Amino acid sequence: MPYKKYPPLNKKNLKTISINDRKSLVEIDSFAQPFAPGSSFESFMHSLPHSLAAKDLLEFSAHVKNARKKDKPIIFGMGAHTVKVGLNPIIIDLMERGWVSAISINGAFMIHDFEIALCGKTSEDVAENLHKGTYGNTEETGLFLNIALKDGYRNGFGCGESIGHYLIQSEFPHNQSSVLYHAYKMNIPISIHPAIGTDFIHYHPSFDGGIMGALAEKDFLLLSSIISQLADGGVYMNIGSNVILPEVFLKAIAFCTAQDIRLDAFYTAVFDFNKHYRPYENVVRRPVLNGGKGYYFVGAHEIMIPLLAAVLLSI
């Protein structure tokens, strides 16, 4: 039955416009091009579509290149997954080529990178070991890292410097595969931001929470000092940390601006295999509200980070 209150609209009253007068967001000039076998990586870059994530990746990489040219900070914030999917050689190569000004990591990255240096392997099976009472009970990792932290505290170091210094002294068999070893060797600032209770070395008998807290405070001040120089072209990347590093980054921004340090016209990016609220708000959106731009790249780290590195080395 017809509804008197809602008579059908008459299609004859519709006003149309020509497609030639309409603004369109997609044109064939932005289409991808087939990649010719045997061509260079640069050719592959130019074959990508000029839209969405592909356009953003090339645009963000240009900002990183500009930051390097202007001697502005290029900060790599990294979670443990970066180590666990085998990206240390890629990060180390970028460090050696001058694409990394500073490194900011969480406690899990520290543990996995340290184990790589110590014995060339890391990442135990949590599900298999948790209810056996063996997960996180690795003696060497807990003992050596806590010794490193205590030695660093006595020397007046921060957390990152403590681990780097210990690795240099240790001569572990796989130091050459450690990001923290190379960072210390190349005098690239390392800041480590642990949350007590999140890492298994925190319940090792040799752990001292007071020492960890004091070292972490120094590293927060170090990171804040580096972030204070981001304006006018600097870059901060968050790779695979969903909570700790986005929170630390935002608080470092707040610490700087509370001291009337101008922070505008810089660039941020998140690389992760899922999109999360905190990295988006604390890294991509809020920090660049006064100028600059944030980017969010969704994809597997073991693909996206080598891709980013290849683009940086080709632009």
Where in the sequence is the domain holding 124, given as residue range(s)? 55-61+68-312
Strand-pairing partners, residue 75, are 102, 236
Predicted confidence (pLDDT) per residue in 278-291, tens digit: 999 999 999 999 99
- 175 or 9: whose pLDDT is higher? 175
Phi-psi region of 126 (alpha: psi -120 to 50; beta: other; left: phi over 0): alpha
81 CB neighbour count, 10 Å cutoff: 21
* Radius of gyration of the CA atoms of the chain, in A: 24
CB 48, CB 54: distance < 8 Å = yes
* Model confidence pTM above 0.85: yes
- The residues, any chain, with a CB within 8 Å of residue 40's CB and separated by 6 or more, are none
Tally of structural domains, the chain: 1
Residue 137 has pLDDT above 90, yes or no: no
Give residue 297's identity as a one-letter amino acid code: F
Strand order in the sheet with 102-106: 190-193, 102-106, 74-78, 235-239, 266-272, 292-298
CB 292 within 8 A of CB 266: yes
Q: Is residue 305 part of a domain?
A: yes
Distances 58 to 129, 275, 312 between C-alpha atoms, Å = 43, 20, 9
Cα–Cα dist 147/193, whole Å:
18
Query: Is 263 within the bounds of a domain?
Result: yes
pLDDT at 134: 80
User: Is-contact 102 189, C-beta < 8 A?
Assistant: yes
Which tokens sit at 48? 């990508």
The pLDDT assigned to 60 comes to 98
Provide the pLDDT for residue 53: 96
Residue 148 forms part of a structural domain: yes
Residue 174: inside a domain: yes
Is residue 251 situated within a structural domain? yes
Q: Tell me if 73 sits within 8 A of 101, measured CB to CB.
A: yes
What distance in Å separates the CA atoms of residue 270 and residue 161, rounded to the nearest whole number? 25
Q: What distance in Å separates the CA atoms of residue 167 and residue 161, rounded to the nearest whole number?
A: 10
Domain at 223, CATH number: 3.40.910.10
Predicted confidence (pLDDT) at residue 1 exceeds the cutoff of 80: no
Structural domain includes residue 113? yes
- 179 occurs within a structural domain: yes
* Cβ-Cβ contacts under 8 Å for 292 (sequence gap 6 or more): 264, 265, 266, 267, 268
Mean pLDDT of the 263-279 span: 97
Is residue 271 assigned to a domain?
A: yes
